[in-house]
């Protein structure tokens, strides 16, 4: 039996850091790791990391160097350093591993570092794998677009609705200093762009960037030892799912792992009425439709009603439940291992009231949700943070 109360409020985030996301041609993975971790150290007031960090959880999808890449970059030796991957949910899973290790009483203070460096491969999109004959083509746009024909037919949505998501995220990204794309787009731009995998065009798809993000977690009863304004972890979980490509019961109207992870993490956090209690969310907009489905799968609105909420501006910065306040994967890009941690960075800034021009008002007593989904998709991770 899983203990749903083992985590809530036990662990707090006292430092966050995020390197400049983008086509970081002149930076190595280590360079980005140092940028992110030292910003988190500074935020937490950590000046002797070799003494103050008890354990490290790091992860990446593209790296084949394992935990040493991070340990060596930060010179964190003679410490437990672990490397984990969980598709696009890697970042959230790293947070979860760090939180669990503290909640279990193993460590007081833990560093989490997610990073990835896809721009060293010489191609603009994701890698196209040709190591089998079955299940081709293997393209992320091809996997995630498979919910479009079914969803559009059943609920009458269309590319017009997806366009509004892309336009919103481009606008939000202009307000986030560390985003890659800082350019507003119009509906005309959206419809003139080339198609990647129908119905996804260029502006429906996350950019490919390099990036790293980090956070410092500690026992809630010791937050006073750190300078950073603490934010509590209310719940964090990951859920596996069947491959939708062979799952006999997939309806291609939602992604199962999101709903499963939602039930788990809302119970951990004590969320019973998400539309009212969640103040903002960073959701996995690898593609515009993934964000749309997530509005519904996270219970922000009824299944099938996303397009009305989109039309009302419900998820915009000025709306009732702003989503992807920093521009999301659309404008930060998706260095896979970093993304979930980058979302934590944004939610911590927002809950502290430090998000500048994109600050969401009236977050007192509200939860901040971050969500990753990855694989075919076959895994989801969700973290819930709160100030109180």
Partner 1 sequence: MTGILSYGAYIPKTRLPLSVIGGRPPKEGGPEKAVAWNDEDAITLGATAGIHCLEGIDRSRVDMLLFASTTLPFQEKQAAALVARVLDLGRNVQTADHTGSTRAGTSALRTAFDAVNAGSARCVLVIASDARLAAPKSGLEANFGDGAAAFLVGEGDVIATLDDFAALTDEVTDIWRPAAHEYTHSWETRFVIQESYTPNMSGAIAAHLKKTDSSISDYDQVAFYAPDARSHEGIAKAAKVSGAALVSPLFGRLGDAGAAFAPLQLVSMLENAKPGQRLLLGNFGNGADATSFRITDQISKLDARRGVEWNLSRRRVIPSYDDYIKAKGLAASEWEAGTNPGLSATILFRERDDDLSLLGQKCRACSAIQFPAQRICETCFAKDDFDKIRLSDRIGKVVTYTFDYFFPTPNPPTVVTIIDIEGARIHLQVVEIEPEQMKIGQEVEFVFRKIHESGGRPNYYWKGIPRPE
Q: Pick the catalytic residue: 334, 371, 376, 380? A: 334
Q: Which residues in the 172-201 window bind partner 1 by CB under 8 A?
A: 194-199
65 Cβ contact list (under 8 Å, min separation 6): 29
Region from 112-120, 126-134, 177-185, 349-357 binding partner 1, contact rule CB under 8 A: 126-134
351 contacts: CB under 8 Å, gap ≥ 6:
231, 363, 368, 385, 386, 387
Other CB atoms within a 10 A radius of the CB of residue 221 amount to: 10
Q: Please, are residues 126 and 375 in contact by the beta-carbon 8 Å criterion? A: no
The yes-or-no answer on residue 284 being catalytic is no
Written as six digits, the tokens of 151 are: 């969803």
Q: How far is the CB of 299 from partner 1 (least distance, A)?
A: 24
Stretch that binds partner 1, among 11-19, 135-143, 184-192, 338-346 (CB under 8 A): 135-143
| Residue 46 β-bridge partners | none
Say how many C-beta atoms besides its own lie within 10 A of residue 204's C-beta. Answer: 30
Respond yes or no: is residue 174 known to be catalytic: no
Does 130 participate in binding partner 1 (rule CB under 8 A)?
yes
Q: Which of 66, 80, 242, 319 forms a contact with partner 1 (CB under 8 A)?
A: 242
Q: Which of 59, 371, 342 is nearest to 176 (CA)?
A: 342
| Pick 259 or 289: Cβ nearer partner 1 | 289
**Stretch of 21-29, 242-250, 324-332, 362-370 contacting partner 1, by CB under 8 A:** 242-250
Contact status: 58 vs partner 1 (CB under 8 A): no
SS3 assignment, position 232: strand
Scanning 61-69, 110-118, 129-137, 174-182 for contacts with partner 1 by CB under 8 A, the matching segment is 129-137
Catalytic residue among 19, 70, 88, 215: 88
Query: How far are the Cα atoms of 10, 233, 276, 340, 349 from residue 363, in angstroms, in the given order?
Result: 21, 16, 11, 21, 12
Q: How many residues bind partner 1 (CB under 8 A)?
A: 36
The token duo for 110 is 């833990």
Q: Which residues contact 122 (CB under 8 A, 6 or more apart)?
A: none
**Does residue 157 belong to the site contacting partner 1 (CB under 8 A)?**
no
Query: In terms of CB distance, is 41 or 200 closer to partner 1?
Result: 200
147 binds partner 1 (CB under 8 A): yes
166 counts as binding partner 1 under rule CB under 8 A: no
Q: Which residues bind to partner 1, rule: CB under 8 A? A: 125, 128, 130-139, 141-142, 145-150, 153, 194-199, 242, 244-250, 252
Which residues participate in catalysis according to the annotation? 88, 334
């Amino acid at each position: 039996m899983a203990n749903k109360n083992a985590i809530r409020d036990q662990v707090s985030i006292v430092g966050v850091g995020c390197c400049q996301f983008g086509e970081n041609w002149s930076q190595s993975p280590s360079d980005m790791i140092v940028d992110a971790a030292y910003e988190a150290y500074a935020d937490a007031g950590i000046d002797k990391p070799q003494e103050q960090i008890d354990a490290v959880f790091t992860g990446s999808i593209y790296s084949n160097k394992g935990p040493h890449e991070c340990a060596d970059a930060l010179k964190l030796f003679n410490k437990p350093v672990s490397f984990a991957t969980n598709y696009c949910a890697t970042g959230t899973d790293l947070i979860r591993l760090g939180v669990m290790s503290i909640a279990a009483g193993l460590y007081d203070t833990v560093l989490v570092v997610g990073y990835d460096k896809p721009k060293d491969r010489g191609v603009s999109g994701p890698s196209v794998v040709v190591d089998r004959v079955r299940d081709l083509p293997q393209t992320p746009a091809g996997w995630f677009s498979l919910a479009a024909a079914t969803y559009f037919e059943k609920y009458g949505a269309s590319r017009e609705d997806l366009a509004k998501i892309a336009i919103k995220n481009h606008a939000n990204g202009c307000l986030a200093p560390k985003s890659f794309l800082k350019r507003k787009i119009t509906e005309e731009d959206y419809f003139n762009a080339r198609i990647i995998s129908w119905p996804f065009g260029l502006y429906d798809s996350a950019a490919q960037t390099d990036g790293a993000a980090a956070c410092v977690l500690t026992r809630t009863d010791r937050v006073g030892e750190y300078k950073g304004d603490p934010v509590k972890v209310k719940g964090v979980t990951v859920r596996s799912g069947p491959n939708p490509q062979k799952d006999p019961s997939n309806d291609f109207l939602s992604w199962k792992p999101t709903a499963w992870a939602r039930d788990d993490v809302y119970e951990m956090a004590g969320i019973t009425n998400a539309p009212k209690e969640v103040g903002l969310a960073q959701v996995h907009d690898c593609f515009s439709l993934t964000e749309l489905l997530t509005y519904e799968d996270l219970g922000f609105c009824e299944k099938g009603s996303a397009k009305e909420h989109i039309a009302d501006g419900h998820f915009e910065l000025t709306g009732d439940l702003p989503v992807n306040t920093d521009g999301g994967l659309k404008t930060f890009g998706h260095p896979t291992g970093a993304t979930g941690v980058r979302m934590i960075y944004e939610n911590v800034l927002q809950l502290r009231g430090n998000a500048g021009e994109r600050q969401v008002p009236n977050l007192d007593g509200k939860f901040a949700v971050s969500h990753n989904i990855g694989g075919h998709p076959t895994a989801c991770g969700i973290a819930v943070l709160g100030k109180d």
